[in-house]
Amino acid sequence: MSFNTWTPLEVSSKQFHWRGKAWRMVEAQQYAATMKIVDTRDEQDQLEALLENSKPRLSDHFLGLHYLLATPFRYQPLKQGSRFRGVGDDGVFYCAESALTAGIELGYWRWRFLIDSVGLNEIEPVTHTAFSVDLSAQAIDLRKEPFLKNQSKWHHPIDYGPTQQLANTVRKTNVGIIFYQSVRNPEPSWCAAVIHPKAFARQKPIGQMQTWLMKVSHKYLTLRSEMESIQISTRHWQ
């Protein structure tokens, strides 16, 4: 089966139920950015309310969903889209097997920003927050047959056409999660694309959030938390 001939029925025939934990990393959530431009908590509350009203509305699917879980479904993607989301497609919540893999995936995009910025040599350490979610949904796994035969298509570093096409087919089924091999982590690790909010078993993050520092240069990505530290070469991204 080639990547562009999958039908909703064929995708559905390869689904299985999965329940487990996955990680996502975002910029630090300890302090709201609006605190920097106001003098009091009341002023901040008013400003946050104004900003909230200016944001795109969420559909009823997201009522009660914590903002960290709902945000990826709220905004339009980059002009080129993302691995499983084309321009105009519904949102995708990307997550990973570990906080470290989630950080490496995010770090790739920080590195892309760096190399595209003239005169910028590095991004100084920035605090990030890693959080986990409880998932329970029907899923497919692109690391397994019969999807595995098209691994080069799913794993391509910049061409998202095949994966976006597959995701559009998956959206016509009751599958809520697509598992795939991490493209940015040089060590084997899985990532997951949550394509529907029904895949969240709980409506808010679970467990304790982790604080990570991320530093990016042209040659290296450095991630550090209280429990572990890693520096990886960006050579395999180039």
- For 157-199, how does the pLDDT look when each residue is reduced to its tens digit (9 = 90+)? 999 999 999 999 999 999 999 999 999 999 999 999 999 999 9
User: 211 - beta bridge partners?
Assistant: 129
- Residues ≥6 apart with Cβ < 8 Å to 6: 166, 169
pLDDT band at 56 (very low <50, low <70, confident <90, very high): low
Predicted confidence band of residue 44 (pLDDT cuts 50, 70, 90): low
pLDDT at 152 over 80: yes
Place of tokens 């991320």: 214
**Phi, psi (rounded to 5 degrees) for 133:** -130, 155
Is the torsion defined by CA of 132, 107, 125, 43 positive or negative? Answer: negative
Does an H or E element contain 232, and which? strand 229-233
Q: Nearest Cα to 29, choosing from 216, 210, 192?
A: 210
CA atoms within 13 A on the CB side of 33: 4
The range of the structural domain enclosing residue 130 comes to 3-237
pLDDT of residue 33: 58
Element (H, E) at 71: helix 67-74
Which residue type occupies 40? Answer: T
What number of other Cβ atoms are within 10 A of residue 5's Cβ?
8
- The per-residue pLDDT of the chain, averaged, comes to 89
pLDDT band at 238 (very low <50, low <70, confident <90, very high): confident
Min mean pLDDT across 42-46, 99-103, 131-135 is at: 42-46
* DSSP-derived pairing of the beta strands 16-27 and 220-224: unpaired
The number of distinct structural domains making up the chain is 1
Asked if the model's pLDDT at residue 114 lies above 70, the reply is yes
**Tokens 């709220």 -> residue:** 74
Average pLDDT over residues 109-136: 95
Run of H or E residues at 165: helix 161-170
